[in-house]
Homo-oligomer: A and B are copies of this chain.
Amino acid sequence: MNYTDNFNPTISDQDIFNEIELERDSIGYYNLVNQDTSKFKQYALNVKQKNIVVIGIGGSTLGTYAIYKFLKHSKTLKKQLHFLETTDPIDIKSKIESIDLFDTLFIVISKSGTTIETISIFKYINSLIKCNKDNTLIITENDSKLNKFAKTHDMKTFDIPKDVGGRFSVFSAVGLVPLAIVGIDIDKILEGIKDVHNSFFNKEQYYKRILKKARFFVEYKNSFNINVVFSYSSRLEGFNKWYIQLWGESLGKIDINSTRQGLTPIGIIGPIDQHSFLQLIVEGRRDKTVTVIKIDDFDNNLKIPEIKLEGLEELEYIENIEFSSLINQQADATIESLNNLNDIPCDVITIDGVCEKSCASLMYEYELLTSVCARFMYINAYDQPGVESGKIILKQKLKNL
């Protein structure tokens, strides 16, 4: 009689940590903490145009948008960032009509260099205005066909490192260059990710919380197949979208035992979704974990004034409360009501403020959490074989037109 098996053993935190340490040789995002950003800052300083249009899709835009959206109303930024990221013709037309193309720098971002949406839109822009070395910057892999095109036209390029995947690329040139151009402090961004990186690899606070959370999420993945991020600020709307890509595309995989894995990400915004999705969390099936994200200091003292509204005296207790306090009390009330139920797994991340460092730390924590979850699930977080078949079908359809 013969017997073999390919069962996977239960894995210790130390095993996972060892594997993540090994990954650092081949997975580039871990090493972005130590990059030299002087060439990005130098380039940014010399940009004359007022409008910055990023042409890209998915990993080429979502992270940049997340940080820009987080900061844009609390800092005085010197330029406006726009994103052309979909083939919806009405979207392209309305965005282009709102921008002075003659005072615009176009940043074309595509890792492969042959992304259909990105090249389609770039061609369209070229029919409206001559794209040349003065108004176009290319960010791509250093041996892509798009890079060759750039060199032919003497256009400035920045490289996307080969070992940094699209959805993990926000802290490479992909995100840092556009953000530096509009006046965001990219050194502070690097400080934010370095803090988390070092804490994790020195086995301090972030190591402990990330390992604990990933182990819980994976251990209970069949009961709780949905992970809700409940962000208590509209500043985090872009972060939610970025998280959905990172989580969905990294963890939706077939594992080494040929079993389908996947934790489904949902991003909602408090207090808006407290008036809708919360009902589903509270009374619906117990298939969700909830992560509440709060902002400790909004650096904003907008206050509910003492104004009498006849008939509405019962609401006078809200007067003289700052809106930043109100929204955080709303978050706390939601957390308390969830915790009272005792059967909804819930954690709370409170970030310090509306600044570069806080946003970057939060995003880097989620990158590490994704990598660790993938290790627990015996899957590859960094590929995306599932989207290839649709791309092949599309190419054939378009060629047949």
Contacts and interface: CB of A to CB of B under 8 A. Distances in A.
B145 A311 contact: yes
Interface stretch (A47-55, A258-266, A355-363): A258-266
Contacts of A254: 283
A372 to B, nearest CB: 18
Contacts of A384: 279
Contacts of A73: 90-91, 93-94
Interface residues of A, number: 119
A398 B89 contact: no
Given A225-B287, A311-B149, A276 B397 contact: no
A305 B93 contact: no
Chain A interface, >50% SS class = helix
Contacts of A20: none
A292 to B, nearest CB: 12
A317 interface: yes
A356 to B, nearest CB: 15
Contacts of A398: 317-318, 321, 326, 329
Contacts of A132: none
A203 B303 CA distance: 54
A394 interface: yes
Interface string A248-271: 110111100000111010100101
Interface string A291-317: 000000010111111010111101101
A317 to B, nearest CB: 5
A280 B307 contact: no
A142 interface: no
B285 A260 contact: yes
A323 B127 contact: no
B390 A119 contact: no
A329 to B, nearest CB: 5
A28 to B, nearest CB: 19
A24 interface: no
Contact of A264 (B146, B266, B283, B319): B266
A117 B274 CA distance: 11
B285 A225 contact: yes
A25 interface: no
A204 interface: no
A237 B295 CA distance: 26
A68 B257 CA distance: 48
Contact of A307 (B92, B123, B311, B386): B123
Contacts of A57: 271-272, 275
B276 A327 contact: no
A139 to B, nearest CB: 15
B234 A310 contact: no
A253 B244 CA distance: 25
A88 to B, nearest CB: 4
Interface of A: 57-59, 62, 73-74, 85-94, 113-114, 116-117, 119-120, 122-124, 126-127, 145-146, 148-149, 152-153, 166-167, 225-226, 233-235, 244-245, 248-249, 251-254, 260-262, 264, 266, 269, 271-288, 298, 300-305, 307, 309-312, 314-315, 317-319, 321-327, 329-330, 332-334, 336-337, 340, 354, 384-387, 389-391, 393-395, 397-399, 401
